[in-house]
A and B are shown apart, each in its own frame.
Chain A
Amino acid sequence: MALPVVDTDYLKEIDKARRDLRALIASKNCAPIMLRLAWHDAGTYDVHTKTGGPNGSIRTEEEYSHGSNNGLKIAIDFCEEVKSKYPKITYADLYQLAGVVAVEITGGPTIDFVPGRKDSMISPKEGRLPDAKKGVSHLRDIFYRMGLSGKDIVALSGGHTLGRAHPERSGFDGPWTKNPLKFDNSYFVELLQGESEGLLKLPTDKALLDDPEFRGYVELYAKDEDAFFRDYAVSHKKLSELGFTPSSSSGSKVIAKDSTVLAQSAVGVVVAAAVVILSYFYEVRKRMK
C-alpha cells in the first residue's frame, strides 16, 4: 500500500482523531488494551529483514488470532469507530495514536507522535512478540531483533503500570499495580518490593531483576519517576516508529504547526531590528549629504 500523503488535511484529521480517541479511551477506561494493541502491532518488527512493525497488519484475522494477541479484537473494534469517522488516517497511524493517547489519558508522559505510517495486510509469523514465561536472554533476543536496547526493554516493561492479565487471554491473572488505570512508576516499586497479595509478576517481569543492566534501570525508575517518564517517552516513540521514516515534509509540517509565543516574538524582534538598522542607515546617509 502507498504512503499516505501527510498534508494539512491529514494532519487535521489526526488532530480530530486524537480528540475522539481521548473521549473514547477515557469514557471506556480502555487505555490498557489500546496500549497493548499499539505495542503488539509495532513489536513484530525485524530490523534485519525490515518486516513487521507498526503497519496496521494486526487487524487481519490471521494476526489477531495469534495466541499473544488474544483479546485484542476489542481494541481493534474500538479503533474502528474512530476509523469510520476519519477514513483517511491509516490504521498504522491510528493504532499508534491510540497508544500515545492511552498513555496521556492515564497520566503518563507526552509522547511525540509523527504521522505517515503506511498500512499493510501482510502479517508476520506468530512468535515475534515476547513470551511471558521466559527470561532475560529471550527478552534480549526479541527486543534486539526489533532494533531496541536494554534500556528500552526495561522502560517499556513499565507499560505494565497499566492494566492486567486475564486468565482467558494469557493464562495469567491480575494487575501489576494497585492502580491499573494510572500511569506511573509503581510497576518498578512493586517489582523491587517482591511478592504482593493480589499483584502479578510475570516471569519476564522478574527477569528484569536477574540481569545487572536491567536491574540498574529498575532501581533508577523506582526512585525517579521523572527519569522513567523521560526514558519511557523516548522508548515508546522508538517502538511506534520501527521501520517508519517520517518523511521530511511531514516532519517539517508538524514542526511548522508549532506556533509558539516565542516564535511570534522572535519574528517581531527581527522586524524591529530591521527597522532600527534601516532607519539608522537612513540617518547616516542624510548626515553625509
Chain B
Amino acid sequence: MAAQASTSASAPAPTPAPLAVNAEYYKEIERARRYLRALISSKNCAPIMLRLAFHDAGTYDALTKTGGPNGSIRNPQELNHSANRGLETAVDLCEKVKRKHPCITYADLYQLAGVVAVEVTGGPTIHFVPGRQDSLSSPKEGLLPDANKGADHLRSVFNRMGLEDKDIVALSGAHTLGGAHKQVSGFDGKWTEEPWKFDNSYFKELLKSSTKFPTPSNPPTGYSQQKPSSAAGEDSTGRRLFIFSTDQALIKDRKFLEYVMLYEQDEEAFFRDYAASHKKLSELGFVPPTWTSRVITAVKNSSTMAKTAAGVAFATTAIAIAFYYRQRSQREEE
C-alpha cells in the first residue's frame, strides 16, 4: 500500500512504496465502482463528486510535476481552500467506499467517483486506469480557476496543468451538472434546466445567454440571467439559470467560441471530446501501470472475438518464429 507522504511543507515527501496494481486491486476497483454507482445515484450527489475529482486533479503543475490527482484534497489544509468549500460532503461520502474497499488509494477513489458521476447522469463512458498514488502534501491555494475571471486566466490555469483550449471548453461542459450555492461560492443558481442530466445543454444555455448580458461597465461578479420570458427561466424550485464570468469568457473569446458552437450543435462531439479531456485531467502526472498489466486488464474485459483474435495473432507469431529457426538450422546444415 502506498505510504503517506509527509505533511510538513519544508521536508521533502518520501517516495511512497510502489502500489501493487494486481488482479486483486482491479477486482476491488470494480467492486468500488459498483458501490459508487449505488451511492451516487441513491444520494443524487453526482455533481459534488465530479467537483471533488476535478479539484483534486486540477492542482497539477506540469513544470514542477506537483499537485494533481493524488488524494491530497482530503487533507484539511486543502479542503479549507476557498475553492474547495463544501467538498467535505463528497470526501465523507467517499470515506464510506474507502471503508469497504480500503486497499484502493484515495487518489483512485476520487477519480473513479468522478467517472461514475458522469456515467450515472447519462454522460459518456470515461476510460479509467487505476494505480494513482496517494499524497498528503497539499499544494498552495490559488491553483484552481477563479470563477470571477476571464479567458486569459482560464488559459493560464489550464495550460499550467498541461491542458489546452479544447480541454477548457469541453471540461467547462461539466457545468451541465449541478449548481452554485450561496454558502459555498457565494453564487446561487444552476447552469441548465436539468442539473442532474449530463448533456450538451450547458452550451445551448451559454449561447442563448450571449444576447442577454448586462453591459461590461461595472459588471457584478457572477451573473443571473434576466430572462424576459418564463420559457427557460426558473425551475420548479425557483433557482435561476446563471453563469460565472469564466463561463461567459467561453463565448467572448473567439477560439473558445468555436468549440462552444460545435458542442452546442453536436452532442456526440461534446461527449467524445469531454471523455478525452476528463481522462486527461484524471491522469495528470499519473503514469499508468506497465503495458503488460494493461493488456491483462484488456484481456479480462474483452469479448470472445477479441480473445480469439489475440490467440490467432500469438499463434501466427509463434509459427513464424519456429519456421524461421527451422529455416536457419536447415541453411546451416547445408
Interface residues of A (CB under 8 A from B): 19-20, 22-27, 29, 31, 104-109, 181-183, 255-256, 258, 260-263, 265-267, 269-270, 272-273, 276-277, 280, 284
Query: Which of B44, B305, B306 has most chain A Cβ within 10 Å?
Result: B306
Q: Is the CB of B299 within 8 A of A107?
A: no
Distance (Å) between the CB of A31 and the closest chain B CB? 8
Q: Which residues of A contact B306 (CB under 8 A)?
A: 258, 260, 262-263, 266
State which size class the interface on B falls in.
Answer: 35 or more
Q: Is the CB of B305 within 8 A of A23?
A: no
Q: Which residues of B contact A109 (CB under 8 A)?
A: 34
Interface residues of B (CB under 8 A from A): 34-42, 44, 46, 119-124, 196-198, 294-295, 298-299, 301-307, 309-310, 312-314, 316-317, 320, 323-324, 327
Given the known interface contacts A273-B313, A273-B317, the answer about A106 and B121 at a Cβ–Cβ threshold of 8 Å is no
Q: Which residues of A contact B316 (CB under 8 A)?
A: 269-270, 273
Given the known interface contacts A261-B298, A262-B299, A262-B302, the answer about A23 and B309 at a Cβ–Cβ threshold of 8 Å is no
User: A261 — nearest CB in chain B belongs to which residue?
Assistant: B298
Distance (Å) between the CB of A64 and the closest chain B CB? 26
Distance (Å) between the CB of B20 and the closest chain A CB? 21
Distance (Å) between the CB of A200 and the closest chain B CB? 19
Main secondary structure of the interface of B (DSSP, over half): helix
User: A184 — nearest CB in chain B belongs to which residue?
Assistant: B38
Q: Which residues of A contact B42 (CB under 8 A)?
A: 29, 106, 181-182
Q: Is the CB of A269 within 8 A of B313?
A: yes
Q: Is the CB of B313 within 8 A of A267?
A: yes
Q: Is the CB of B120 within 8 A of A105?
A: yes
CA distance A276 to B313 in the complex (A): 14
Interface residue from A183, A255, A261, A276 paired with B305 (Cβ < 8 Å):
A255
Interface residue from A20, A24, A266, A280 paired with B309 (Cβ < 8 Å):
A266
Q: Is the CB of B44 within 8 A of A26?
A: yes
Query: Which of A258, A267, A273 has most chain B Cβ within 10 Å?
Result: A273
Q: Is the CB of A106 within 8 A of B41?
A: yes
Q: Which residues of B contact A276 (CB under 8 A)?
A: 320, 324
Q: Is the CB of A107 within 8 A of B38?
A: yes
Q: Which residues of B contact A106 (CB under 8 A)?
A: 37-38, 41-42
Interface residue from A20, A107, A269 paired with B122 (Cβ < 8 Å):
A20
CA distance A23 to B42 in the complex (A): 12
Q: List 15 A-B pairs, Cβ < 8 Å.
A: A23-B198, A24-B122, A26-B44, A107-B34, A109-B34, A258-B305, A258-B306, A261-B295, A262-B302, A262-B310, A263-B302, A263-B309, A267-B313, A270-B312, A270-B316
CA distance A104 to B119 in the complex (A): 11
User: A106 — nearest CB in chain B belongs to which residue?
Assistant: B38
Interface residue from A26, A258, A262, A273 paired with B121 (Cβ < 8 Å):
A26
**8 closest Cβ pairs, A-B complex:** A23-B122, A107-B38, A26-B41, A266-B313, A260-B302, A263-B306, A261-B298, A181-B42
Q: Is the CB of A105 within 8 A of B37?
A: yes
Q: Which residues of B contact A277 (CB under 8 A)?
A: 320, 323-324
Q: Is the CB of B295 within 8 A of A265?
A: yes
CA distance A183 to B314 in the complex (A): 40
